[in-house]
Structure 1
Amino acid sequence: MGSVVVDQIGRDGELIHDVDTRLSNGRKDDLLLTALPGAVVETFAGERVVRYRDQIILKKQITHLGNPWPAFKKRIQIPKRWLTVEARARAEGLVVRFVGIYNYRDVTIFVDFDPSTYVLRKANNSAAHVATNDLHQAQVVGQFSRVDRNGNHLTSVRDDELSRYLLGGVAPEDPRLEVFRRFNAELLDGCEIAALEAVQDMHAAGWPDRFQAEWPGFYLEYRFDAFVRAGSMLHLVEFQKDKRRGRYDFDLVFRSRLSVDYYGDLKASDIVKHESPGNDADDIRRCVEEYGRFWYVIYEHTTKHSRDNGDVATIAWNEWRRSVGHKGRKEFDPLSYARKFKESVRFQRMMILEVNAANFEVVLGSFRQGQQPDGAERALKVMINKRYIDNFLIYTEPEPIRLV
Structure 2
Amino acid sequence: MGTVNVDQLSHDGTVVQDVDTKLSNAKKHELLIEALPDATLETHSGMKVVRFGNQIILAAQVTHLGYPWAEFKKRIQIPKRWLEVHQGAVREGLTPRFVGVYHYRDVTVFVDFDPTTYVRRAVNNSAAHVATNDLYQAQTAGQFSREDKNGNRLTSIRGDQLATYLLTGYSEKNAHIDVFDGFSTKFMDGMRIEGLTAVQEMHAARWPDTFQNEWAGFYVEYRLHQYLAAHGLTQHVQVQKEKRRGAFDYDLRFLRDGSLEYYGDLKASSIAVSDSPGNDKDDFLRALDTFGRFWYVIFEHETWHSRDNSNLATIAWNEWRRSVGHVGRKGTYDPLSYQGRFKEAVRFMRVNILEVNPANVGIVLKDFQKDFRQPDGKPRKAKVSIRKKDIDNFLIYTRSIVPASD
For normalisation by structure 1, the TM-score amounts to 0.96
Native 8 Å contact 2:8 2:15 kept in 1: yes
1:92-138 per-residue CA deviation (whole Å, 9 max, x = no partner) reads 11111111100011000000111111111110000010000100110
Native 8 Å contact 1:239 1:251 kept in 2: yes
1:140-159 → structure 2 map (5 Å cutoff)? 140-159=140-159
The verdict on how the C-alpha distance between 1:366 and 1:106 changes in structure 2, with shifts beyond 3 A counting, is farther
Offset at residue 282 of structure 1 (A): 2.3
Offset at residue 184 of structure 1 (A): 1.4
**Which residue, 378, 388, 392 being the options, matches 1:386?**
388
Tell me which moved more, 198-207 or 58-67. Answer: 198-207
Aligned to 2:314: 314
Aligned to 2:398: 396
Native 8 Å contact 1:363 1:392 kept in 2: no
The verdict on how the C-alpha distance between 1:363 and 1:121 changes in structure 2, with shifts beyond 3 A counting, is farther
User: SS of the counterpart of 1:167?
Assistant: helix
Q: Is 1:282–2:304 an aligned residue pair? A: no
C-alpha separation between the residues in 2 aligned to 1:372 and 1:328? Answer: 18
Aligned to 1:128: 128
Tell me which moved more, 313-322 or 1-10. Answer: 1-10
The verdict on how the C-alpha distance between 1:364 and 1:270 changes in structure 2, with shifts beyond 3 A counting, is farther
| One-letter amino acid of the structure 1 residue matched with residue 41 of structure 2 | V
Offset at residue 261 of structure 1 (A): 0.8
Structure 1: gaps (5+ residues): none
C-alpha separation between the residues in 2 aligned to 1:226 and 1:237? Answer: 12
User: SS of the counterpart of 1:336?
Assistant: coil
Q: CA RMSD in A?
A: 1.6
1:5-404 → structure 2 map (5 Å cutoff)? 5-330=5-330, 331-363=332-364, 365-369=366-370, 370-371=372-373, 377-398=379-400, 401=403, 403=405
Native 8 Å contact 2:281 2:365 kept in 1: no
The count of residues paired between Structure 1 and Structure 2 equals 404
User: SS of the counterpart of 1:332?
Assistant: coil
Tell me which moved more, 364-373 or 180-189. Answer: 364-373
Offset at residue 168 of structure 1 (A): 1.9
The verdict on how the C-alpha distance between 1:340 and 1:322 changes in structure 2, with shifts beyond 3 A counting, is same
Offset at residue 182 of structure 1 (A): 2.0
Tell me which moved more, 288-297 or 133-142. Answer: 288-297
| One-letter amino acid of the structure 2 residue matched with residue 351 of structure 1 | N
The verdict on how the C-alpha distance between 1:377 and 1:213 changes in structure 2, with shifts beyond 3 A counting, is closer
User: SS of the counterpart of 1:367?
Assistant: coil
Native 8 Å contact 1:151 1:399 kept in 2: no
Tell me which moved more, 252-261 or 275-284. Answer: 275-284
The verdict on how the C-alpha distance between 1:289 and 1:349 changes in structure 2, with shifts beyond 3 A counting, is same
Native 8 Å contact 1:112 1:154 kept in 2: yes
| One-letter amino acid of the structure 1 residue matched with residue 79 of structure 2 | P
The verdict on how the C-alpha distance between 1:6 and 1:26 changes in structure 2, with shifts beyond 3 A counting, is same
Tell me which moved more, 166-175 or 359-368. Answer: 359-368
Structure 2: gaps (5+ residues): none
User: Percent of pairs identical after alignment?
Assistant: 59
C-alpha separation between the residues in 2 aligned to 1:321 and 1:377? Answer: 31
C-alpha separation between the residues in 2 aligned to 1:299 and 1:337? Answer: 22
Offset at residue 218 of structure 1 (A): 1.1
The verdict on how the C-alpha distance between 1:161 and 1:399 changes in structure 2, with shifts beyond 3 A counting, is farther
Native 8 Å contact 2:314 2:338 kept in 1: yes
C-alpha separation between the residues in 2 aligned to 1:366 and 1:135? Answer: 27
Native 8 Å contact 1:110 1:159 kept in 2: yes
Native 8 Å contact 2:144 2:172 kept in 1: no
Native 8 Å contact 1:365 1:384 kept in 2: no
Tell me which moved more, 381-390 or 151-160. Answer: 381-390
Offset at residue 231 of structure 1 (A): 2.2
C-alpha separation between the residues in 2 aligned to 1:311 and 1:394? Answer: 39
The verdict on how the C-alpha distance between 1:34 and 1:366 changes in structure 2, with shifts beyond 3 A counting, is farther
C-alpha separation between the residues in 1 aligned to 2:99 and 2:8? Answer: 18
For normalisation by structure 2, the TM-score amounts to 0.96
| One-letter amino acid of the structure 1 residue matched with residue 348 of structure 2 | F
The verdict on how the C-alpha distance between 1:226 and 1:402 changes in structure 2, with shifts beyond 3 A counting, is closer
Offset at residue 232 of structure 1 (A): 2.1
Offset at residue 187 of structure 1 (A): 1.2
| One-letter amino acid of the structure 2 residue matched with residue 300 of structure 1 | E
| One-letter amino acid of the structure 1 residue matched with residue 248 of structure 2 | Y
C-alpha separation between the residues in 2 aligned to 1:346 and 1:354? Answer: 24
| One-letter amino acid of the structure 2 residue matched with residue 271 of structure 1 | I
Native 8 Å contact 2:350 2:402 kept in 1: no
Offset at residue 172 of structure 1 (A): 3.5
Tell me which moved more, 253-262 or 166-175. Answer: 166-175
Offset at residue 195 of structure 1 (A): 1.1
